Structure formats: structure tokens, C-alpha cells
């Protein structure tokens, strides 16, 4: 059936509604026995109402909808068309006086009612027939699945799954008691989340889909744990924006991941302030190809900078990021710059040519055990000397703002990496004390989900190999946040800073790494009998828990609930000249580096003495 023919058919159907409603209303008025004197009323009414109704349908936008997907918006358009058509009938009612006969008053009610039934019912009947024709054969096919969540997200998901040959919804569970015993699209809501194991057993289902986009991470963890313990495979749907926007599709259902269960509340940022910081300006991101640097570039690009300078030492990382922008954000003006933050000449060239106004310094060596043994001097040069040189260029070329991306490992550091990042924070504080036009700020946070070297991909690889999953210590804990959340809060901190602050991100509750490992093993469908957990012992420079504040630091609140400002120990006036002399000196071994770091950073306390000959394990940081 061609589109033109189908459109003509729909138009003629709506015109036939006038005949049914008008003639049917008159016949009902006279109990289906039409007096001959009312035949002219029937005829003249149709002559007047058919063109009027055609105009009403056009004004109501009735032909924008697709009958197969007829829904509430289409019903609203039908009601609008009926209202216009009824108004035309009222005009006919007021003026018709053929042979002294008036229009029966009962038609004022019968006519619109019959129109709604005919036009709305016809569309609903067509949709039901079409869906049965296309999907009716799918009933009782597919894998039985239990949906957790009987709200709007669950309702949208159930409607999508009705059209899928892969799934068959058998029941729903929800903690809202008012929904128990009721049905959603013909599927029963049996009980609360705690009843999930019994529901899975009674319905002989082995699959669960979490459709709770607005639920807390704790609720999702509880549902996932119950499902996994019952031997089910757990899936989830997209976030709240996609679900509530009606964009849920079967193709978007995916296996649940540990990141979903570590989920944090959605954050807000003060868009006008961030926009004022970024829009129309030249921005420089060092370490642009890294986990945080690349996400920061993507987030900054949304605010329309004049140009975005990508500064990165790794050629491959730089190329990958450039290709992403070419595909997803081709309108952003990029300047792709290969370079090393320790290379003063290259930095002078970049700053002299492009004059960046805001600098986000994300370039750093971050791997704790790797930097601890055999690479301590390189950690000093990259993390501290690199920060000094980029920051001094920012001050020399009158940049508006310099933002250092720091780490919670800089608080009471027990490793070289943390001590070098604390020293980088002190560099920014020293430069801020010198005055000038550049504001120096630091943003400090913990581990990010999905970053290079994160414990999560390491555990995934170990589980895929059949184990064991290695954890350094039974009591070790870490803070986690998502990479997009970290990048957004960095921008927010940069926008609200006045210079000299160390911003601390609210990292939520710490996660016990062994519990993380157990949950990942269960999510993959195994037990600890299948994949064991092995404790390997703390590695060089590693401590059981990370701190966000040093002992001598106090914090004060900011307008943003997830940002606080730490007050750190002040640096001496002669700090920078002495530090520069050390950083620009010759190569030093690990022992010399630790001894000197302890002088520069008094709170640095290595977990082993400077003379110990520790060896690394070569595993990822936790």
C-alpha cells in the first residue's frame, strides 16, 4: 500500500465518521425509525458538516501521527478535531430551519460521542490488529524475564519487550506496595524486590532486567545481589534521561556492570559560571589523551570554546582523541599538539603562539607501584617539574586560570607518586603567593571508574581467565567516582575558584576492594568456589585507605554540595627557587629521591625505609 493511497484512505475514513456520527445520532434519536420529515435534515446536515469536518481534521493536525503507534497525543488530536467539528454542528444547529423543523437537541451529545468512538476507536483497533499481525506470533516465545521496577521506566520497557522475539515478560516486582497485585500491560506485579528469588523460581525465569533508572545505587545492588544469588543473569536499561524520554529500546538493554552498582547520584553544575569560564576562550588541556584529560576535553567542548588545545605526549592517545572529535564534534576547533610537559622550549612555543587563557593540567604519572621502584626520579620530573614549567608558562603569558588535577594520594602520602603530586600542589600555592594575573587552583579527587590502571578492568580480565582474582589486602578500601562526574566537578571548581584553593571532591563512601571483587565474581555468574580470591600483600607505596584531607587541613563549604575547600600548610617564600634547583639537577636514584621528598614534603612518610630494597609486583594499582 503506497503512502499516498494510505493517506487518502485515512482521510476518507475520517470523513465517513461524519456520516456515521450524524446519521447514527439522528437514527438513535428516533429509535432507528427515521420520520420522512427529517430526511432533509439528514441530507443538509451532511452537506454542511462533511467539508467542515475535513477542515477541522486539518486544523487539529490529525494526519501527523502514525496509526500503528496511535497513543495519547493522537487521542488529543482526535478530541481537538471533534471539538472543531462539534462547533460547526452548533452553527448548523443555530441556523437550520428547513420546513420549520429544528435540529434535535440530543444530537449535541450524540454527535461528538459517536465521532470520538468512531475516530478514536478506529485508530486503536488498527493498532491492535497491526501489532497482533506483527508481534502476535511472538507470544510465549523468548526467554522468560522478570522486570524489577513497575514505574514509568518499567512500563516503557514492557511495551518494548512485547515486540521482541528474544524476551517474554512473566512478572514484575516493585517495593511500592500499592502496585502489588495489579497488572502492567497484562503482566502481574507480584511483590517487592525481596521476593525476587521466589518469583524467579515460580516463573522458571533465569533473567532479570533492572528498570529502576531513578533508584539509588543501594536499591540496584540489593536487587542485583538477590538475582545473582538466585542464579539469574542480570541486565539493566539506560539512565533516567533516556528512559523517561521514551528512548528505551531492546537494543539498549545490556548486562549490568559493576559501575552501575557503584553508581553515584547525578550531579549538577552551575552552567552559567562554567560557560563564563569556557565559552569563547582558548583552552589548553595537558595530558589530553588520558582518562581524565580526554573526558575533560569532551565536557569543555560542549560549552563552545574558541579553540581547544590538546597537549599530549602519547601520539596514539592524541590521534585517538582527534578522531573522536572528528566523528562526534567536528565543529569544535581543535589544535592537536604533541609535546612533553617537561619540555620548556615546546611549552614556550605553544603558549607564545596560541596564548591559552585557561589551562587544565592533567598530565601526570599516576601508577603508584610503577613509580615507586626504579622510576621515582621520573615521577618527580613529570609530576612536579612538569607542573612547574606549565604553571610558570601560564603566569608568564598572563593566562587567566591554571587548574591542577591532583589526587587523594597527595594527602599524607606514603608513596612517591603521592608525594610528587603534593609537591605539585605546593608549586601552585607558591606561584599564587607571588601574585600576578593568573589564578592557580587545585582539584583533588580519588580513583575514577574505567580509568587506565583501574582495579575494575583488572578484575574483569582475571575473571575472564578463570581466576584467581588478586586483592592486595582484605581490609583495603578506595573511593570511586565516574570519569564524567570527575570532569564536571573539575570544571565547576575551576569556575568558582579565586586562586590558591585546593578543592576536594565529595567522593561518597569508600568501597572495600574485596567486596568489589566478590560482587564482580557473582555478576559474572560464578561463585568463589569457581573463582577464588587471592590476597597478595600490600605493594610498595600502597596504604590501606586513602584520605581526602591531611591531618593539618581544615575545610570550608562551597555553594556546591560536592565541593569543599581544603586549607593546606603554607609554603615558604624561598620554596620555589630551592625546588627549581633540585628539579633541574642531575638524575637521582630512588633512595635519594625519597630522602629529598621527605625534606620538601614533611607529611610524606614512606611505608618502608629509604634503604629497603623492595621489588614491585607489576600489577595494576588499587
> What grid cell was written down for 439?
589564578
Q: Which of 179, 111, 546 is nearest to 366 (CA)?
A: 546
Q: What share of the chain is helix, strand, coil (3-state, %, to 5)?
A: 50, 15, 35
> What grid cell was written down for 582?
633540585
Element (H, E) at 180: none
Distance CA(497)–CA(565), nearest Å, equals 9
DSSP at 549 = S
- Vertex 349, ends 347 and 354: CA angle to 5°? 95
DSSP 3-state assignment of 458? helix
Cβ neighbours of residue 599 closer than 8 Å, sequence gap 6 or more: none
Q: Which of 522, 580, 611, 557 is nearest to 228 (CA)?
A: 522
- Residue 409 annotated in active site: yes
Residue 26: CB atoms within 10 Å: 23
Distance CA(165)–CA(138), nearest Å, equals 6
Distance CA(252)–CA(209), nearest Å, equals 12
DSSP at 383 = I
Distances (CA, A) of 392 to 148, 441, 551: 55, 14, 29
Distance CA(468)–CA(222), nearest Å, equals 25
> What grid cell was written down for 143?
526467554
Q: Which of 234, 182, 181, 175 is nearest to 210 (CA)?
A: 234
- Vertex 37, ends 32 and 43: CA angle to 5°? 80
494, 358 in Cβ contact below 8 A? yes
Q: Which of 15, 133, 134 is nearest to 63 (CA)?
A: 15
* DSSP β-bridge partners for residue 448: 481
Distance CA(155)–CA(185), nearest Å, equals 8
What distance, in Å, lies between the first and last C-alpha atoms of the chain?
62
Distance CA(380)–CA(372), nearest Å, equals 11
504, 548 in Cβ contact below 8 A? yes
Q: Which of 124, 143, 111, 258 is nearest to 209 (CA)?
A: 143
What distance lies between CA 406 and its chain's CA centroid? Answer: 23
> What grid cell was written down for 248?
528505551
> What grid cell was written down for 179?
502496585
Distances (CA, A) of 234 to 60, 241, 336, 521: 45, 21, 42, 13
- Vertex 258, ends 252 and 264: CA angle to 5°? 90
Active-site choice (179, 342, 366, 409): 409
204, 144 in Cβ contact below 8 A? yes
The residues annotated with a catalytic role in the active site are 409
Amino acid at each position: 500500500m503506497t503512502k499516498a493511497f494510505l493517506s487518502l484512505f485515512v482521510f476518507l475514513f475520517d470523513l465517513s465518521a461524519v456520516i456515521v456520527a450524524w446519521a447514527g445520532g439522528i437514527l438513535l434519536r428516533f429509535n432507528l425509525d427515521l420520520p420522512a420529515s427529517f430526511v432533509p435534515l439528514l441530507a443538509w446536515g451532511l452537506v454542511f458538516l462533511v467539508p467542515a469536518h475535513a477542515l477541522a481534521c486539518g486544523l487539529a493536525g490529525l494526519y501527523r501521527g502514525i496509526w500503528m503507534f496511535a497513543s495519547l497525543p493522537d487521542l488529543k488530536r482526535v478530541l481537538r478535531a471533534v471539538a472543531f467539528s462539534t462547533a460547526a454542528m452548533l452553527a448548523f444547529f443555530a441556523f437550520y430551519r428547513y420546513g420549520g423543523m429544528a435540529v434535535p437537541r440530543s444530537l449535541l451529545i450524540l454527535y461528538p460521542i459517536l465521532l470520538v468512538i468512531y475516530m478514536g476507536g478506529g485508530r486503536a483497533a488498527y493498532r491492535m490488529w497491526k501489532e497482533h499481525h506483527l508481534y502476535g506470533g511472538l507470544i510465549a516465545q523468548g526467554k522468560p524475564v522478570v522486570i524489577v521496577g513497575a514505574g514509568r521506566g518499567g512500563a516503557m520497557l514492557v511495551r518494548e519487550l512485547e515486540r521482541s522475539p528474544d524476551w517474554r515478560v512473566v512478572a514484575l516486582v516493585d517495593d511500592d506496595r500499592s502496585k502489588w497485585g495489579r497488572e502492567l500491560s497484562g503482566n502481574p506485579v507480584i511483590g517487592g524486590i525481596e521476593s525476587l528469588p521466589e518469583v524467579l523460581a515460580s516463573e522458571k525465569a533465569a533473567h532479570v532486567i533492572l528498570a529502576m533508572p531513578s533508584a539509588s545505587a543501594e536499591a540496584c545492588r540489593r536487587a542485583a545481589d538477590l538475582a545473582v544469588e538466585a542464579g539469574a543473569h542480570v541486565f539493566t536499561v539506560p539512565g533516567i534521561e533516556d528512559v523517561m524520554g521514551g528512548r528505551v529500546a531492546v537494543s539498549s538493554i545490556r548486562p549490568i556492570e559493576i559501575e552501575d552498582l557503584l553508581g553515584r547520584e547525578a550531579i549538577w553544575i552551575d552552567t552559567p559560571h562554567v560557560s563564563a569560564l569556557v565559552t569563547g576562550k582558548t583552552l589548553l588541556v595537558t595530558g589530553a589523551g588520558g582518562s581524565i584529560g580526554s573526558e575533560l576535553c569532551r565536557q569543555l567542548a560542549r560549552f563552545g570554546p574558541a579553540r581547544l588545545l590538546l597537549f599530549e605526549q602519547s601520539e596514539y592517545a592524541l590521534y585517538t582523541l582527534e578522531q573522536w572529535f572528528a566523528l562526534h564534534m567536528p565543529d569544535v576547533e581543535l589544535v592537536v599538539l604533541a609535546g612533553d610537559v617537561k619540555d620548556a622550549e615546546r611549552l614556550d612555543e605553544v603558549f607564545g603562539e596560541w596564548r591559552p587563557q585557561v589551562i587544565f593540567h592533567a598530565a601526570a604519572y599516576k601508577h603508584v607501584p610503577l613509580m615507586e621502584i626504579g622510576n621515582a626520579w621520573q615521577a618527580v620530573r613529570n609530576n612536579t617539574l612538569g607542573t612547574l614549567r606549565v604553571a610558570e608558562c601560564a603566569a608568564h603569558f598572563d593566562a587567566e586560570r591554571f587548574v591542577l588535577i591532583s589526587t587523594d594520594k597527595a594527602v599524607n602520602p606514603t608513596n612517591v607518586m603521592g608525594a610528587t603530586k603534593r609537591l605539585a600542589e605546593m608549586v601552585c600555592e607558591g606561584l599564587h603567593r607571588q601574585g600576578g594575573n593568573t589564578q592557580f587552583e587545585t582539584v583533588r579527587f580519588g580513583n575514577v571508574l574505567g580509568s587506565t590502571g583501574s582495579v575494575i578492568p583488572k578484575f574483569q580480565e582475571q575473571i575472564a581467565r578463570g581466576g584467581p582474582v588478586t586483592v592486595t589486602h582484605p581490609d583495603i578500601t578506595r573511593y570511586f567516582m565516574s570519569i564524567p562526574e570527575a570532569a564536571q566537578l573539575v570544571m565547576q571548581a575551576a569556575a568558582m575558584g579565586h586562586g590558591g584553593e585546593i578543592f576536594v571532591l565529595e567522593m561518597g563512601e569508600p568501597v572495600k576492594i574485596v567486596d568489589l571483587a566478590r560482587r564482580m565474581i557473582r555478576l559474572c555468574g560464578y561463585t568463589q568456589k569457581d573463582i577464588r580470591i587471592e590476597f597478595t600483600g600490600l605493594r610498595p607505596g600502597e596504604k590501606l585507605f586513602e584520605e581526602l584531607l591531611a591531618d593539618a587541613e581544615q575545610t570550608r563549604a562551597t555553594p556546591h554540595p560536592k565541593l569543599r575547600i581544603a586549607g593546606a600548610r603554607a609554603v615558604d617564600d624561598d620554596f620555589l627557587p630551592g625546588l627549581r634547583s633540585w628539579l633541574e639537577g642531575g638524575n637521582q636514584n630512588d633512595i635519594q629521591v625519597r630522602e629529598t621528598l621527605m625534606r620538601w614534603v614533611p607529611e610524606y612518610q614512606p611505608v618502608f625505609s629509604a634503604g629497603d630494597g623492595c621489588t614491585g609486583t607489576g600489577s595494576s594499582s588499587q
